[in-house]
């Protein structure tokens, strides 16, 4: 288990505190539901308590990369201690199943159509200069800094962060005191960090460089060096379980006999689905099965270090007597699939395995082992964190809702969300992929067995209805077919049958109107469910 002085750059990154801005400008195969928390009555009146001089609560957000729920990702995949450290379970969803737009939604509390990050590329607005001047300048850390929070970031930020075209490593987003951000996409070794605006190179030594452990060790140093007079916020974003799935040496022999689950929609044909789901080879060739099983095992292995990270942080907070006043959120940017509908590995699809995410939270006064059924979106994290800090939410422009009122029945004055939006903009290549020349141009994420996981016209928007009366999903594609998929999630939880031709046309019209409304909503209008 990693500790305060062990491995991965334990002593580095302790530069003097600074506020964000540009320094150059002077500034297992078991199933489990996703998870959440219940906040105590006293903290729901935080603004009153803070005004009276009571201590503000500390907050930690652990954001992993590509961790699923539907395929057992929160049971056997190295998160046993993390689950034991949590208190509440809840249905968590990402509003878009891809890293950069999802992380942008977490930071801003906005749907992708409002923060305008469409994919993982600079041309898709990922960490672009336009993003930095607009939505990033209104992200929730900016508000926390104004609430006197000490703020710390370590790990993956956005996929294009630190590129020269995106402002280079000198760019520190507003609101952060301590900044240890990975340049580019997830890596475990051989990467560059922006450490308070300066490039820091890392190699392939486990003791010095393994990124998950480095994140832990620098967070422990932050906890030791911070001011005891002010609350703190930490955002820790380890690379696991994203590819290349590099496990710590002590975990590389774990789960060697584990296979990806073969039930549900595994290796099922994409009948009556969008064309991208109809093109995979079926049944899957043995080469694809071997590949996805290896990925599945290595994902589990990489998460064992994340489990150590959470466990060590909790023990550290307990030893300093800060645990009772600290909220810890654990979630992922999106889900993941390994063989569902004969798709080898990836995310980007509208189905539950890609849009469901883990959501665990513990904090003061939270009763353990309880499940809350109302859905929470990743755009709800920002307003909830600000609500805990005492920010007046009427002063922020966010599409998400604080879920404090939902979690305290005695103060239930919020509106339970009966339906919500999932949206995604597909990515493709302008020329044909060498692995899949028969599909022509416009596809991407292709595998040697000629299965492509994405395309320009894999662009869709969905209404997910999830309440006591309806458990449904309605999706429209922006393609030449105007293709529609509809699923009854109560009778068909694995989304095997598209029932668009079986439902009443009036239902389709109602869902279409809801979708149009959600796709144009901004701020409070995203909470209007009439």
Q: What is the DSSP string of 313-381?
A: HHHHHHHTT-GGGEEEEEEES---EESBTT--EE--SSSHHHHEE-EEEE-TTPPSSEEEEEEEEGGGH
- Tell me what pLDDT residue 1 has: 38
- Tell me what pLDDT residue 81 has: 61
- Tell me what pLDDT residue 83 has: 55
- Tell me what pLDDT residue 410 has: 38
- Tell me what pLDDT residue 469 has: 82
CA nearest neighbour of 305 among 226, 374, 230, 209: 209
Q: Tokens standing for 43?
A: 């903290």
CA dist list (Å): 517 to 331, 461, 481 = 28, 12, 22
Residues identified as active-site: 99
pLDDT along the chain (530 residues), means of 10: 46 41 32 28 29 71 95 57 54 96 98 98 97 98 97 98 97 98 98 98 98 98 97 98 98 95 96 95 94 96 96 97 94 97 97 96 73 87 94 96 65 67 96 91 92 96 90 96 96 97 97 98 92
Domains of the chain: residue spans and CATH: 58-417 (3.40.720.10)
Q: Tokens standing for 78?
A: 């190295």
Compute the distance between CA of residue 223 and CA of residue 314 in angstroms, rounded to an integer: 12
What's the half-sphere exposure (Cβ side, CA atoms, 13 Å) at 410?
7
- Tell me what pLDDT residue 108 has: 98
- Tell me what pLDDT residue 307 has: 95
- The number of helices, as runs of H, and strands, as runs of E, in the chain is 14, 20
8 Å CB contact between 373 and 92:
no
- Tell me what pLDDT residue 392 has: 95
- Tell me what pLDDT residue 24 has: 32
Q: Tokens standing for 210?
A: 């393994």
Q: Give buried/exposed letters for 42-72 (b at 16+ CB in 10 A, else e).
A: ebbebeebbeeeeebbbbbbbbbbbbbbbbb
Compute the distance between CA of residue 282 and CA of residue 112 in angstroms, rounded to an integer: 33
pTM beyond cutoff 0.85: yes
Q: Tokens standing for 425?
A: 């903009």
- Tell me what pLDDT residue 417 has: 85
């Amino acid at each position: 288990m990693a500790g305060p002085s062990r491995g991965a750059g334990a002593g580095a990154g302790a530069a003097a505190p600074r506020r964000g801005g540009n320094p150059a400008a002077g500034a297992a195969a078991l199933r489990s539901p996703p998870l959440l928390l219940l906040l105590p009555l006293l903290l729901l009146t935080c603004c009153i308590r803070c005004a009276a001089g009571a201590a503000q609560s500390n907050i930690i957000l652990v954001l992993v990369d590509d961790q699923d729920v539907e395929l057992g990702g929160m049971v056997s995949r190295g998160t046993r201690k993390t689950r034991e450290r949590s208190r509440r379970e809840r249905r968590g969803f990402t509003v878009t199943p891809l890293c950069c737009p999802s992380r942008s939604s977490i930071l801003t509390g906005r749907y992708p159509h409002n923060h305008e990050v469409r994919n993982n590329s600079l041309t898709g607005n990922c960490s672009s200069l336009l993003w930095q001047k607009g939505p990033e300048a209104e992200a929730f850390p900016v508000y926390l800094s104004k609430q006197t929070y000490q703020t710390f970031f370590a790990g993956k930020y956005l996929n294009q962060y630190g590129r020269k075209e995106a402002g280079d490593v000198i760019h520190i987003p507003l609101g952060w005191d301590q900044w240890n951000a990975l340049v580019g996409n997830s890596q475990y070794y051989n990467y560059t960090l922006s450490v308070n605006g300066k490039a820091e190179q890392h190699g392939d030594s486990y003791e010095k460089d393994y990124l998950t452990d480095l994140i832990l060790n620098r967070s422990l140093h932050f906890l030791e060096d911070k001011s005891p007079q002010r609350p703190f916020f930490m955002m820790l974003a380890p690379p696991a379980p994203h590819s290349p799935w590099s496990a710590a040496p002590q975990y590389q022999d774990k789960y060697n006999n584990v296979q990806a689950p073969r039930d549900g929609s595994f290796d099922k044909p994409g009948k009556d689905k969008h064309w991208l789901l109809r093109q995979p080879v079926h049944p899957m060739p043995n080469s694809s099965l071997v590949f996805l099983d290896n990925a599945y095992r290595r994902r589990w292995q990489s998460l064992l270090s994340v489990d150590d990270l959470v466990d060590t942080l909790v023990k550290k907070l307990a030893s300093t007597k800060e645990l009772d006043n600290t909220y810890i959120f654990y979630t992922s940017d999106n889900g993941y699939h390994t063989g569902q509908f004969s798709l080898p590995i990836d995310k980007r699809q509208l189905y539950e395995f890609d849009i469901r995410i883990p959501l665990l939270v513990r904090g003061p006064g939270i009763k353990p082992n309880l499940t809350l059924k109302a859905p929470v979106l990743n755009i709800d994290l920002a307003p909830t964190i600000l609500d805990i800090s005492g920010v007046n939410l009427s002063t922020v422009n966010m599409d998400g809702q604080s879920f404090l009122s939902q979690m305290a029945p005695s103060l239930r004055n919020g509106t339970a969300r009966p339906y919500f939006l999932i949206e995604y903009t597909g990515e493709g290549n302008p020329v044909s992929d060498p692995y899949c020349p028969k599909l022509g141009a416009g596809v991407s994420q292709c595998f040697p067995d000629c299965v492509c996981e994405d395309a320009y016209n894999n662009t869709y928007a969905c209404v997910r209805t999830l309440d006591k009366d309806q458990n449904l999903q309605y999706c429209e594609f922006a393609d030449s077919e105007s293709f529609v998929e509809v699923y009854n999630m109560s009778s068909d939880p694995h989304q095997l049958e598209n029932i668009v031709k079986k439902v009443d046309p009036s239902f389709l019209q109602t869902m279409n109107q809801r979708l149009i409304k959600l796709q144009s909503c901004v701020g409070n209008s995203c909470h209007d469910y009439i």
